[in-house]
Amino acid sequence: MNNKLNLLYENCMICPRKCRVDRTKGERGFCKASGTIAAARAALHFWEEPCISGETGSGAVFFSGCNMGCVFCQNYEIAHDEVKKEISVDRLSDIFLELQDKKAANINLVTPTHFVPSIIKALEIAKDKGLKIPVVYNTSAYENVDTIKMLDGLVDIYLPDCKYYNSELSFKYSIARDYFEKALPAIEEMVRQTGAPTFYYPHVHPGISGKEACQKSLNADEYNDIVTGEDSSLDDVTQTEKIDQDSTNYDISGQNESSDYSGPLMKKGTIVRHLLLPGHLDDSMNVVNRIHNRFGNDIYISIMNQYTPMPHSAAFPELTRTVNVADYDKLVDYAIDIGVEYAFIQGDETDKSSFIPAFDYSGL
């Protein structure tokens, strides 16, 4: 790792916590991370938004440690640095290439903030060795703008949360009173980098299909028309284009029994996620309203109802139940009423612990 990137660990101000600890000498800040990459899993992951997971899965690397520490976190054991395996920058770059070889639709960096300097170097090495699938930065959005700027040109898709609008709520559950005031400019920088969302044509896989096919793009309106069944004209075209697959006879259909999505994959763009918490519909409406007013159709909003009560949130009685179905329906209706056109919504049965992967060091 070059010296400039390494210095960021020596007086760590990578995230808004600005702990100023020397992680290279074993000092730990809020995220509990050292200066060495730590992760808990690297594997194909099928539980992201459909255009991220696709049929072959997203190549997710789950990093250990977290700069948020949400009391309701579904990945609590890795977020609190309880489950981890240390890996080198070179090993991380190899993992990216191994996931591409497994036909991952993209590289999905899950909770990456505190390891950005190392991730930058690993991505540069992997891209020099042939990494060509999109890179997804999957984050809480509690980020410094300068840190996000360092990723310009390396990340294709940003997948930030926008967890809270109310500062009392963000302090209560994440000890981050300034959450929204830090998250909004960070998301602005993400959108500046990616521009409006674009997608590959149906049946095009960036790690499998030919160069000519991968260069073509759909805009968000075309994507929406295809996935809602309003336009099937492109489907037949790209089915036959399926496409000089670089001497590979790999068929991307039917690779995962748990996925019935066969629509286009995202190529570039930002999807802002918001998880409805039990009893906090008003704050969720504020989040959706402010995100839509700021970004309009330059982003997708993913409105999630998958909150799952976890044992470690028992100290907060309001968080010991699942989301009220009527509240979620009200939130979706509200989004439609204020003019949100580009959105992902979830159906029933998403509040299940089965959506939490096994943090067993697979792929590391």
Question: Cα–Cα distance between 190 and 203 in angstroms, integer?
Answer: 27
Give how far the C-alpha of residue 82 lies from the chain's centroid of Cα atoms, to the nearest Å: 22
What residues does 347 pair with on adjacent strands? none
Task: Report the Cα 263 to chain-centroid distance in Å.
Answer: 19
Whole-structure pTM value: 0.92
Sequential pLDDT tens for the chain (364 residues): 467 788 999 999 999 999 999 999 999 999 999 999 999 999 999 999 999 999 999 999 999 999 999 999 988 888 887 789 999 999 999 999 999 999 999 999 999 999 999 999 999 999 999 999 999 999 999 999 999 999 999 999 999 999 999 999 999 999 999 999 999 999 999 999 999 999 999 999 999 999 999 999 999 999 999 998 876 565 544 433 333 333 232 233 333 434 567 799 999 999 999 999 999 999 999 999 999 999 999 999 999 999 999 888 999 999 999 999 999 999 999 999 999 999 999 987 655 555 678 899 999 9
How many angstroms separate the Cα of 285 from the Cα of each of 160, 274, 289, 328? 17, 10, 6, 10
Q: If you search the block for the tokens 């259909």, which residue do you land on?
A: 253
| Burial profile 117-144: b = 16 or more Cβ within 10 angstroms, e = fewer | bbbbbbbebbbeeebebbbbbbbbbbbb
